[in-house]
Structure 1
Amino acid sequence: MAAVTGRFAPSPSGRMHLGNLLCSLLAWLSAKQDGGRVVLRIEDLDAERCPRKFADLLEADLRWLGLVWDEGGSDGGPNGPYYQSERSEIYETYFKRLTERGLIYPCFCSRSQLHAASAPHRSDGTPVYSGACRDLSPEEVRRRSAQRPPAWRLRVGEETVSFTDGHLGRYEESLPEDCGDFVVRRGDGVFAYQLAVVVDDALMGVTQVVRGADLLQSTPRQLYLYKLLGLPAPEFYHLPLLLAPDGRRLSKRDGDVSLETLQSRFTAQEVVGRLAYAAHLLEKPEPVAAAELVKSFSWEKVPKEDILLPRGLFD
């Protein structure tokens, strides 16, 4: 069996918080337990929100924790560039392939229209697109384009996508009912996450994706794109979210504990040990190097439900 190629794919909009760190640790351990490799890709599609200084700090943080990657980031490698902000021409190629097959159409719906109370919504509150712009005439497209630039959506067809997650088990979605036609390019010309991540993981040889369970619902859309584009899909492992002691989701915006704060209080081994304890990889929060966890790592130890951060663990 070929060795696994995993990846870190952080969005450098600020310093990493504990949830980001746990995801990075598990992604690294999952790849390394089978003698695999790790790619570092910087997901800075929105360049204004993701200045390069944060990407540089992120690399320094990962090195400090001992989560060293094998290719990517500022180190470069054979499958670069590894910054999404530098890959627009690559995305354009695959966008054109979908366009030439008649699978893409312009959408002029405003945010308020998409979130209208009358529109169907998913369980997480995300609107399911109604298809309002799917069959606009060429004349209507020209008229609306003069008023505002459109986003571009992918026609999903009557497609049900199912897969077996390596950690959470079987998951299934009806794309027309649970998602609707989805955006692959924004109105400002920036390519959407769904298209970019599919193209990047395929071209960078990624065979295993480890990420938070909040992205589980993105997976059917991405598997559909892999199929349409004829690209090899990776295996997916979605880990539970790490919640604050009061049950909140951790957030950079809310100022939840960042690595910058942790570095002033703990050694790298203490941070790794406490994270491993929270994820049930250790019986007690003792200092440990990331490399020391590789041999004993198992997804069977990791909870499937969201993890409530024990009070005082990082105080």
Structure 2
Amino acid sequence: MSVRVRFAPSPTGKLHLGNVRTAIFNYLYARNKGGKFILRLEDTDAERSTEESVKNLISDLKWLGIQWDEGPEVGGNYGPYRQTERYHIYKEHLEKLVKEGKAYPCYCDKESLDRLREEAREKGRNFIYPGTCRNLTEKERKEKEAANIKPSFRLKITPHTVSFNDLIRGNVSIHTDLFGDFIIVRQDLSPTYNFAVVIDDYLMKITDVLRGEDHLSNTPKQIILYDMFGYEKPRFGHFSMILGPDNSKLSKRHGDVSLAAFREKGFLSEALFNALALLGWSDPDEREILKIEELMERFSLDRINKSAAVFDENKFRYINKQHIISLDIKDFAEKAKPYFEKEEIIPKEFDENIQNWFLKLCELIQKRVTLLSDVVSQSKTVFEYDPSAIDDEGRAVLEEEECLKVILAYAVKSENRDLTTREKYIELVNEIKNELKVKGKNLYHPLRLCVSSSMSGPDLDILVPVIEIGASLDLPIKIESSSKRAWRLVNFLREQGYKI
């Protein structure tokens, strides 16, 4: 049988990185096996499920590069793919279990159950439903109904050990004494998770249920339901949890760990996909930077680690930087453009001159950017110049013997001179070098102060042409030429008492 897997989130808020990793592992497994990936929405939580969450969830998955074969927006042969549209199916299955004596109505009120639960907690025991309503007579049930008490419905469990072969963990055994007769349908007739998921997975012909280890305790309950319905069971596999840097379960206390937050930070979709795939899975050749197509080809369940994976945002940032560096310059420029537009640094409509200049600007910063949101700050030296911002390291350079001569020479020689190419800039630098007989740091440190008022930054032979071309363009933020910057520095130094 062809592999069929599903990702079945609840649209009750933002997609958490742990959920996203589950989607990625299922997606890669399906693609590697030539199978189908199904998206199903478990939206039975009427109070918390919203259409806005559904919209955002679908948008996030599409942005990440996950394409489902069946589900919302694409349809399929086994729908509907929203649980709220499948209540009639759950009702039929409940009636079948009740008729066969495998499930029964429970009239216990919440207060009494909470009291029993608290008593068990105080004694250090796991709460197990005592079976109060399990053996009610027909007369007793009619009396409850006459009193207008709406029942929930519980599965009638025979004590035994449930065993299964986990695709990741191997043999697992859990005794039913840990949970007892559990609720399958609530008082409002909405299905519980374990009840609905079994019915949906069977009817949608899911062959492999791959999910986080927090669902491990649900698996025996679901296996029992499969057996009671007489349905063929899928294979089960449970991924280890994701831990935060402090080795506790990754959660909100580690910051906003939603997919939307990382998208907002400026992560590339393909980089985030890559980084999440490596959380608990390792490449056979220990490669870290992988495209989605490569991950599809190389993914296998036997490379998934049984121990917990530790989330490290710095590692995610490293992976993102490598993906940014590998982008074609036009692709990088397209992704960077909205950040410049947001700050009103560049116009939304480009003519050819601005387009060519913007590509050069992007070439200047591409290898210096870790997140897309860094593009504006990494371009700061192009758009801003402030001689008063020279730091202590730069001021130490100003005390060197030849520094002031180089600064003045650059100011004079760059005036009204074409420096729009690397070659023309280097030609000017060589003139200063030969005339003043300076080289190395005694030449390049003062030149850097002329252009950027900083001792670090992009290579000057690339930076200066970008500045010079930009100074000639009609941009929302006017760029100051390197000559004007150098003269501003000269005048500033004179005001500070330097003999220049």
Report the equivalent of 2:88: 89
| TM value normalised by structure 1 | 0.90
- Contact 1:202–1:231, Cα closer than 8 Å, also in 2: yes
Q: How does 1:105-120 map onto structure 2 within 5 Å?
A: 105-107=104-106, 108-110=108-110, 111-118=113-120
Which among 288, 296, 307 is matched to residue 294 of structure 1? Answer: 296
- Contact 1:7–1:206, Cα closer than 8 Å, also in 2: yes
Q: Aligned equivalents of 2:228 and 2:304: distance in 1?
A: 33
Q: Aligned equivalents of 2:313 and 2:255: distance in 1?
A: 17
- Contact 2:126–2:178, Cα closer than 8 Å, also in 1: no
Q: How does 1:146-165 map onto structure 2 within 5 Å?
A: 146=147, 148-165=149-166
Q: Does 1:74 align with 2:76?
A: no
Cα shift readout 1:250-295 (whole Å, capped 9, x = no counterpart): 3479863111111122001110121123223354653x43232011
Report the equivalent of 2:230: 230
Structure whose CA Rg is larger: 2
Q: Aligned equivalents of 1:24 and 1:220: distance in 2?
A: 22
> Residue 184 and residue 291 in structure 1: after superposition, are their counterparts in 2 closer, same or farther (change >3 A)?
same
Q: Does 1:38 align with 2:40?
A: no
> Residue 4 and residue 131 in structure 1: after superposition, are their counterparts in 2 closer, same or farther (change >3 A)?
same
- Contact 1:243–1:307, Cα closer than 8 Å, also in 2: yes
Q: Aligned equivalents of 2:93 and 2:313: distance in 1?
A: 47
- Give the gaps of 5 or more residues in structure 1: none
Aligned length: 310
> Residue 184 and residue 114 in structure 1: after superposition, are their counterparts in 2 closer, same or farther (change >3 A)?
farther
SS at match of 1:237: strand
SS at match of 2:77: coil
Tell me how far 1:45 sits from its aligned partner.
Answer: 1.2
Tell me how far 1:247 sits from its aligned partner.
Answer: 2.8
Report the equivalent of 1:268: 269
Q: Aligned equivalents of 2:49 and 2:87: distance in 1?
A: 16
Q: Does 1:101 align with 2:103?
A: no
Report the equivalent of 1:249: 249
Q: Aligned equivalents of 2:126 and 2:260: distance in 1?
A: 33
Q: How does 1:297-308 map onto structure 2 within 5 Å?
A: 297-308=299-310
- Contact 2:102–2:228, Cα closer than 8 Å, also in 1: no
- Contact 1:269–1:289, Cα closer than 8 Å, also in 2: yes
Q: Aligned equivalents of 1:136 and 1:33: distance in 2?
A: 52
Equivalent position amino acid for 2:9 in 1: P
- Contact 2:208–2:235, Cα closer than 8 Å, also in 1: yes
Report the equivalent of 2:168: 167
- Contact 1:121–1:128, Cα closer than 8 Å, also in 2: no
Tell me how far 1:314 sits from its aligned partner.
Answer: 4.5
Q: Aligned equivalents of 1:120 and 1:207: distance in 2?
A: 41
- Contact 1:154–1:181, Cα closer than 8 Å, also in 2: yes
- Contact 1:281–1:302, Cα closer than 8 Å, also in 2: yes
- Contact 1:16–1:252, Cα closer than 8 Å, also in 2: no
> Residue 57 and residue 27 in structure 1: after superposition, are their counterparts in 2 closer, same or farther (change >3 A)?
same
Tell me how far 1:18 sits from its aligned partner.
Answer: 0.9
Q: Aligned equivalents of 2:168 and 2:239: distance in 1?
A: 7
Q: Aligned equivalents of 1:171 and 1:217: distance in 2?
A: 10
Tell me how far 1:23 sits from its aligned partner.
Answer: 0.7
Structure 1 range deviating more: 300-309 or 138-147: 138-147
Tell me how far 1:50 sits from its aligned partner.
Answer: 1.1
Q: Aligned equivalents of 1:301 and 1:278: distance in 2?
A: 11
SS at match of 1:171: strand
Q: For CA contacts below 8 A with separation 6 or more, give which structure has more relative contact order.
A: 1
Equivalent position amino acid for 2:63 in 1: W
Over the aligned positions, Cα root-mean-square deviation in angstroms equals: 2.3
| TM value normalised by structure 2 | 0.58
SS at match of 2:73: helix
Equivalent position amino acid for 1:104 in 2: A
Report the equivalent of 1:49: 48
> Residue 72 and residue 311 in structure 1: after superposition, are their counterparts in 2 closer, same or farther (change >3 A)?
closer
- Contact 1:46–1:85, Cα closer than 8 Å, also in 2: no
- Contact 2:244–2:251, Cα closer than 8 Å, also in 1: no
Tell me how far 1:119 sits from its aligned partner.
Answer: 7.0
- Contact 1:129–1:181, Cα closer than 8 Å, also in 2: yes
Q: Does 1:60 align with 2:55?
A: no
Tell me how far 1:296 sits from its aligned partner.
Answer: 1.1
Cα shift readout 1:209-245 (whole Å, capped 9, x = no counterpart): 1101010111111111111112121111110111222
Q: How does 1:122-137 map onto structure 2 within 5 Å?
A: 127-137=127-137
Report the equivalent of 1:183: 183
Q: How does 1:210-229 map onto structure 2 within 5 Å?
A: 210-229=210-229
Q: Aligned equivalents of 1:228 and 1:184: distance in 2?
A: 13
Equivalent position amino acid for 2:16 in 1: H
> Residue 250 and residue 40 in structure 1: after superposition, are their counterparts in 2 closer, same or farther (change >3 A)?
same
Q: Aligned equivalents of 2:102 and 2:192: distance in 1?
A: 16
Report the equivalent of 1:7: 6
Tell me how far 1:139 sits from its aligned partner.
Answer: 4.0
Q: Aligned equivalents of 1:121 and 1:182: distance in 2?
A: 21
Report the equivalent of 2:437: none
- Percent of paired sites with the same residue: 37
Structure 1 range deviating more: 19-28 or 129-138: 129-138
Report the equivalent of 1:196: 196
Tell me how far 1:54 sits from its aligned partner.
Answer: 1.2
Q: Aligned equivalents of 1:236 and 1:12: distance in 2?
A: 23
Q: Aligned equivalents of 1:256 and 1:185: distance in 2?
A: 34
Cα shift readout 1:179-224 (whole Å, capped 9, x = no counterpart): 2011110112211111110110111111011101010111111111
- Contact 1:25–1:290, Cα closer than 8 Å, also in 2: no
